[in-house]
Structure 1
Amino acid sequence: MNIVILSRNTQLYSTERLIEEGLKRGHKVEVIDPLKCDIIIEKEKPTIFYKDRYLNYVDAIIPRIGASVTFYGCAVVRQFEMMGVFTIVTSGAIQRSRDKLRSLQRLSKAGIGMPKTVFTNYSRDVKEVIEHVGGTPVIIKLLEGTQGLGVVLAETKSAAESVLEAFNGLQARVIVQEFIKEAKGADLRALVVDGQVVGAMKRQGKEGEFRSNLHRGGSAEIIKLNHDELKLAMNASKALNLPVCGVDMLQSARGPLLLEVNSTPGLEGIEIATGRNIAKSIIRFIEKNAK
């Protein structure tokens, strides 16, 4: 089988592991930079040209599309879809997951628990926004933020009002969420493949840091999810039509609460923390579904 990984960096851990496991299982694996692909659109013959050849031999793709190149990256994924190539996540699902507000709305409709969240169109009444989520402390997130960037913990009313007024002045779109104190700076990451949880870890922020992202110095350890946590992860995957994804959640007094769903989760932290071969699970998922 000819498998293409859409990635801009062949040296990334996740890309290297997917190549390794694909080759081990007898497939041809190639890394292609989606930004260097030419999309050729013509009647009944959609094609992609890359460097010196047409990519008409590809059986399956693994999108590793960074947030900064979502538009063009998804256009390339969509073109492969038009060519009948199997993709582990569709272009539409990637775009939905990258829109924090849209994905939270879909997840809420699906009955998935999450921290109380408010979004407004640059409201001048910031005090009311804060009260809608139960008062301070509150989490304020840029809609376009990734890896913990653009996330602020405002512990007092005056701090929250100042941050919201500053973001509103810059016309930066944000959501305001209640702060889950009992989570104690930790969250859970469940890795879903083929709609099933194949590994889970607990990420703990470093001392004095409320964000648990490993990119920001957090630590991780393997954890066994309880029934409600497993159910939340699988339901979130289904609601966003993401058979392969990372689901982040908080442990709270009222049960697990969803933070976000990542359509291109990194494999390094979770493979090291759990000892699970996640890359192999992804390749096997392709084998099961690609024609």
Structure 2
Amino acid sequence: MRACRNVLTIGVHPNFCDYGEQERHLIRSADKIYYPTAFYAELFDTLGKATFPSYHTYKCVQDKIKQSALFQLAGLPHLRTRVFFGKRQRGRIRDYFSLPLIAKEPRGSAMGRGVFLIRNDAELDAYTRDRHVVYIQEFLPMDRDIRAVVIGGRVVHAYWRIASAGEFRTNVARGGRVSLDPVPQAALDLALETATVCRWDDVGLDICCHDGQYTLLEANMKYGREGFRAAGIDYFALMEQLIDNGEI
């Protein structure tokens, strides 16, 4: 947030003692710390100091297993998803899913990396062979989905992502394009409900339409800004306004 005029940025040190005396005073006396990293977010939460994003947001960063479990626990509509641990459970994937199916790296992946279309048993065997944890979702033949960005309790931007020819992933980083066609209100309502229930205050939610119902694919706390640029939205000016208004 160095580009935001209303935020004082002093950087992140892995050892708190590396901050100077004045910097330590600023941190301790600040009403809110912005983007403190997952490590410090947990510590600040323990001390009762407000952060943005919230500690609850940080807990689910790039962790699809936690996200799916949270969606299911909260009763939110979520694409049929299951996690398999160990060889015995991996052998039961075909008891729950037909081919083709989607396999994802359960932690640490972004921008469409670590997402695989599994079309036959040979590909499934190759994918699972050296993995202890396997994250599987049903495959839906679709060429587009919705990215809805929720910041500070409201949907600040939403747009369609349309896959390129021959590509099953809609990620812009994988050749997908942004469409600013109107996003249905039902999808926006689902995004806001999800962010509110999960206590996430800075998140990009991927949503698709399945059997006439909008359903969650996954959450992205490290979302791209291509959709903002396509719409002519100055992301940093937006963040400044949200801070000035007390929304974040």
TM-score range (shorter-chain normalised) is: 0.7 to 0.9
Match in the other structure for 1:259: 217
Distance apart, 1:84 and its partner CA: 5.6
Q: Does the aligned pair in 1 maintain the 2:103–2:136 contact within 8 Å?
A: yes
The alignment partner of 2:113 has SS state of coil
The answer to whether the 8 A contact 2:35-2:53 is kept is: yes
2-structure distance, mates of 1:87, 1:132: 40
The equivalent position to 1:57 in structure 2, one of 26, 38, 54, is: 26
Superimposed CA distance per residue, residues 116-163 of structure 1 (whole angstroms, 9 cap, x where no aligned partner)? 112111344757423413x111101110222211111122xxx2x334
2:41 partner SS: helix
Which residue of structure 1 aligns with residue 158 of structure 2?
Answer: 200
Alignment of 1:2-13 (within 5 A): none
For residue 279 of structure 1, what is the aligned residue in structure 2? 236
TM-score by length of 2: 0.84
1:206-228 superposed Cα distances (whole Å, 9 cap, x missing partner): 21111111122221122322222
Identity, % of aligned positions: 22
1:218/1:132 Cα in 2 relative to 1: closer, same or farther (>3 Å)?
Answer: same
| Kept in 1: contact 2:61–2:222 (CA 8 A) | no
Partners of 1:86 and 1:290 within 8 A in 2: no
Unaligned ranges ≥5, structure 1: 1-17, 41-48, 65-72
The separation in 1 between residues aligned to 2:153 and 2:175, in whole angstroms, is 29
CA contact (8 A) 2:101 2:138 kept: yes
**Aligned equivalent of 1:46:** none
**1:272–1:28: structure 2 CA closer, same or farther, 3 Å change rule?**
closer
Tell me if the contact between 1:115 and 1:258 (Cα under 8 Å) persists in the aligned partners. Answer: yes
Aligned partner of 2:227: which letter? I
The answer for the alignment partner of 1:11 in structure 2 is none
1:137 partnered with 2:94? no
- TM-score of the two chains, using structure 1 as the length reference: 0.73
For 1:101 and 1:113, how far apart are their aligned partners in 2? Answer: 16
What 5-or-longer segments of structure 2 have no aligned partner?
none
Equivalent position of 2:135 in the other structure:
175
Change (3 A) 1:283 1:265: farther
**Offset of residue 199 of structure 1:** 0.7
CA distance in 2, matches of 1:224, 1:172: 42
Q: Any conservation in 2 of the 1:249–1:257 contact (CA below 8 Å)?
A: yes
In 2: Cα distance, 1:125 partner to 1:290 partner? 45
Does structure 2 retain, via aligned residues, the 8 Å contact 1:86–1:289?
A: no
Correspondence 1:39 to 2:16: yes
Measured in 2, the distance between the counterparts of 1:19 and 1:270 equals 21
Structure 1 vs Structure 2 CA RMSD: 2.7
1:244-264: CA deviations, max 9, x gaps? 211111122332121111223
SS in 1 for 2:192: helix
| Alignment check: 8 A CA contact 1:200 1:223 kept | no
Shift in Å, 1:97: 4.0
Is the 8 Å Cα contact of residues 61 and 87 (structure 1) preserved in structure 2? yes
